[in-house]
Amino acid sequence: MDRKVGLIAGWGRYPIYLAEALKQEGFGVYCLGVINHADPALKSVCDVFSPLALGRLHKGIRFFRRHGLTHGTMAGKINKKLLLEPWLLWRQLPDFFTIRTFAPMFLTRRKDCKDDTLLSTVVKAFGENGVELLPGTDFVPDLLVKRQKLTRRGPNTAEWKDICFGWKLAKEMGRLDIGQSVCVCGQAALSVEAIEGTDECIRRAGALCPGKGFTVVKAAKPQQDMRFDVPTFGLLTLQTMYESGARVLAIEADRTIFIDRQDVVDFANLHNMVIVSIHETDSAKEKSPFTEYPAY
């Protein structure tokens, strides 16, 4: 594979984390940073950085071709709430290529606006112009977290029941391409992630369940395309969990990108929180496969 990689960067720490990992692996990183989303710190990490407006898809393709890039990857979130803004076309000022590409979603309404629909359209547009968008984990496999208990403490009996209950909900929400995260307490759903994102989903659960520790389950869609919208977790979301009253997190092993790993584990241990990474088969077990208390 060519040692140059294109990076389309959205919001969050993950694009920086991925760019740094790519550099360590010896890749040249050419970044398109989505305006009002990408962290400015990417400019100092990447070999080349160029801002990109959401409505300028053809500019992004030209950037890749101008730098001789045949492979790229996408990382970071795009604020989908922008799609609900009034006068969307006037605000984003899309080029003709973007209008033509997304006309079935936004003009003729022949297609829906689910994440998979929109992002697979971007992948197809780049592919038809000679650029293959690949999963970031193809370049840096260590980004994915393995099956394990990451914190000193494991889930107790009640917490494990909530994890298994939440897993079923998260997988069903994923199948419908609604969201990846659910918040659960006492085997009752508190909140389900949709367009607002994981952190707002957690805050809403905290408002509904004050003072009573709840569980967050974040899982990949059954039909997950690892090229985009892969479940990602880092320190900022864990801090949101703690501030909102959540005390347990379950994520999907081998299909979740875990950034700021040591900082996350240290913060969780400091506050006696639980983080486990599990497989589908674990969710069917009546008892937790992880010890509740650490061995000293």
For position 210, which CATH number holds? 3.40.140.80
Give the total number of structural domains in the chain.
2
Does 130 lie in the same domain as 188? no
Residue with tokens 């689910």: 114
Overall average pLDDT of the 153-169 stretch: 97
Whether residue 88 contacts residue 27, with contact meaning beta carbons closer than 8 Å, is answered with no
- Give residue 247's pLDDT: 97
290 inside domain: no
Same domain, residue pair 98 and 156: no
For 276, the enclosing helix (H) or strand (E) is strand 274-278
Same-domain pairing of 188 and 67: no
107, 139, 171 — which closes off a domain? Answer: 139
Q: What is the pLDDT of residues 53-111, one digit of tens each?
A: 988 999 999 999 999 999 999 999 888 777 666 655 556 678 899 989 999 988 888 99
pLDDT surpasses 70 at 263? yes
Structure confidence at residue 296 (pLDDT): 45
**At residue 112, what are phi and psi to the nearest 5 degrees?**
-85, 180
What is the arrangement of strands in the sheet containing 214-218, beginning at the earlier edge strand? Answer: 148-149, 274-278, 246-252, 214-218, 181-185, 188-192
**Residue whose entry in the numeric block shows the structure tokens 């984003």:** 92
Task: Look at residue 59 and tell me if it is in a domain.
Answer: yes
Tens-digit pLDDT profile for residues 25-50 = 999 999 999 998 999 999 999 999 99
Q: Are residues 22 and 90 in the same domain?
A: yes
What pTM does this model have? 0.90
How large is the average pLDDT for residues 11-25?
A: 93
By the 8 A CB rule, do 72 and 50 touch? Answer: no
In-domain check, residue 289:
no
Residue 179 lies in a domain: yes
- Whether residues 27 and 125 share a domain: the answer is yes
Residue 132 has pLDDT above 70, yes or no: yes
| The predicted structure's pLDDT at residue 295 | 52
Q: Identify the residue with better confidence: 1 or 13.
A: 13
8 Å CB contact between 214 and 245 = yes
Inform me whether the pLDDT recorded for 118 exceeds 50. yes
> Which residue segment(s) compose the domain that 89 sits in?
4-139
Whether 98 and 167 map to the same domain: the answer is no
End residue of a domain, out of 99, 121, 139: 139
pLDDT for the residue 171 = 97
Question: What pLDDT is attached to residue 84?
Answer: 63
Residue type, 296: Y
Stated as kind and residue range, the H or E segment containing 268 is helix 261-270
294 belongs to a structural domain: no
Do 149 and 279 share a domain, yes or no? yes
**Per-residue pLDDT, 218:** 97
CATH number for 52: 3.40.50.20
Predicted confidence (pLDDT) at residue 231 exceeds the cutoff of 60: yes
Q: Is the pLDDT of residue 188 over 80?
A: yes
Q: What is the pLDDT of residues 246-260, one digit of tens each?
A: 999 999 999 999 998
Mean residue pLDDT across the chain: 92
Last residue of a domain, one of 93, 112, 139: 139
Q: Which amino acid would we find at residue 193?
A: E
Query: Is 2's pLDDT higher than 90?
Result: no
Give the pLDDT band (50/70/90) at residue 127.
very high
